[in-house]
Structure 1
Amino acid sequence: MRGGFARPVISLQHAPDLHSLRALLALLALVALSGCSLFREPPAPEPVEAPIAASEAEPAASEPEAASAPEAASEPAETPGAKPAPKKPRPPLIRRHKPAPPPPVAASAPPAPPPAPLVQTHTLERGTFRTLLDSEVRKPDGKVVGRAVDMVAGPGGKPQEVVVNLQGFMGVGDRKANFPWSAVHINTPAKTPAITLALTPAQLQTPERPKSGAPQPGSPEAGPTRLPMLDANVERANGAKVGRVVDVLLGGSADPLAVVLDVSGTLEKRRTIAADWSALHFVTKNNALEAQLEMSDQQIDASPAYANDLPVRAVSPAAPPATPAAPAAPAAPAVPAHGDQ
């Protein structure tokens, strides 16, 4: 054994007695034991577990607890030379994918504006106008002298004459006569003669029947400045036919308000519409006065039908939609003169 005090060599020959020898041996043994304990390495301290802090809050019961790692204190202490214990595989952490939010709802596009009307209408109430064809014509004294059969229009569509079929005796001797339009007065109340001729007795005297071969007075012949309206064809500027005039509607001041057009096709059922008088254009073509109306087939089909017992809706072509004005170009910068520096 290492360490301790040196042992003195004692000769047994000089030992005083046996008791002294035993005491000396016990003393040496005690000294040897104490010397060994002085050089022995102290034992390693045992690991002390860290105290758990009391201030740590417990996880909320509503939240899912995550898988906690095993505590270090539960693992056995590694002994030198021993193989480490295999670690338990951790379960894979499952992450729940959040459902994708629904796509945003696209804002609904504003409703498309309604298409522009093809025609525009002007309502004429019954009792505010009279029809021309076959209307009774009377003198200022109230006597009926005949019936209107036509109206002659001049340049610009201004009425010039009214053509009256004068009555003879028992239907014999009927003849046509022209009277100036300035003498025509319109009576709008129903069940009354529609036209009153404000003429003098001399003007109302019918001329004698002309001889054979001579032109008859009152014959509604067309010319460059005259257009008999009844049975006249109304065309477009390109020559396409729109319809045939079958009547004229007259207002209380003897001004024409509309013409009734027969727009029936060759094989179609008869259909009539009322065209506003202001929509007509009177032009001279081939040395003759003509009435024109710029209405397409689609506009004619979109026009309301004319009926004798209903309010009249006089049609005219709708104005084209206004196009937005183009933005003004920026003004060019002024170029300084050569003398300005």
Structure 2
Amino acid sequence: MQLTTTQYQAIGKGGPFAVVSVPKPTPGHNEVSIRMEAVALNPLDWKKLYFGAMVESWPTVLGIDGAGIVEAVGEGITRYKTGDEVFSLFGHETKAASFQEVAVVPEHYVAKKPGNISFEEAASLPICYCTAGSAIYYGLQIPLPFLPDGTTSGPQPKSILVLGGSSGVGASAIQILRLALPSATILTTSSSKHHVYLESLGATQAFDQKSPSLIEDIKSATPEGKGVEMILDAVASSASQKDIFDTLSADGPKEYSEVFTGTPTLVPDGVKRHVVYGRKLFETPGGQNVMTALADLVRKGDYKIPIQVKNVGSGFEAIGPGLEELKAGVSATKLVVTI
């Protein structure tokens, strides 16, 4: 039996990376051990690497998204067995991070991979879906009707604006909002080349984020032209576009849900600001079902891969250059690596 496993360790702040052999972790109670087949790269990964964000000590292992095959299960696990194809959100601590050969995560982070998507596509899903769901449920208090045992009562706004619709979180939020609010006016901003696609995901209308008439155009598209009731900001757009709050209806609830990015933002008086993180979604009523609900939606075709998936290479050595590409900037694209 193999007693060691391989980690792609960041040796220190700013790098370099090293491929290191370590003892193979054993799953504990209600934990699942996953042999990685594919990982996705996220902005949090390069922010950890270059700024040390959320890193307690070096060396460390990064990676918060991935998919693979169940290697072993701990005591209390009945939902999964060795050999199952799964995808998962991964953790911040070394044994639970995804940039390694075998990782161990809590059972509720895991779901069986739908047969209609690849390991690479599955790896691209978890954190964007969880962050969008958290922004909707915690930031705007809108219930998620597809979540078993979840809250069923809450606000039902008639209009909402998603800033950064072509980001992974933004495109996820559009789909979740359409499931939660079938008849609402869901507006979004992005580059014009993404408009048709975002409308196919469920947006009522998409607007050019750089248009000089953006504020007026958004308000004109809302019921009675009064403006939107709520804003979900997936990419800290308000930091550079401070007049975006003028799209809010003067007599509406003025709710603003902001995905935490580390970018400082200022919110006008009278606007209710809620800063959200992806993992908080597991704390909702029904939170233990967050990932399995996602798998069901994908399996049924009710939730699409939010943005283009680009494979930047195979093997651990492709991760470092992939993070450099991500840091330099990509548009409407999720970078993944086949392990």
**Which has the larger helix fraction?**
2
The answer to which structure, 1 or 2, has the higher relative contact order (CA under 8 A, 6+ apart) is 2
**Please, what TM-score do these two structures have when normalized by structure 1?**
0.24
**Please, what TM-score do these two structures have when normalized by structure 2?**
0.24
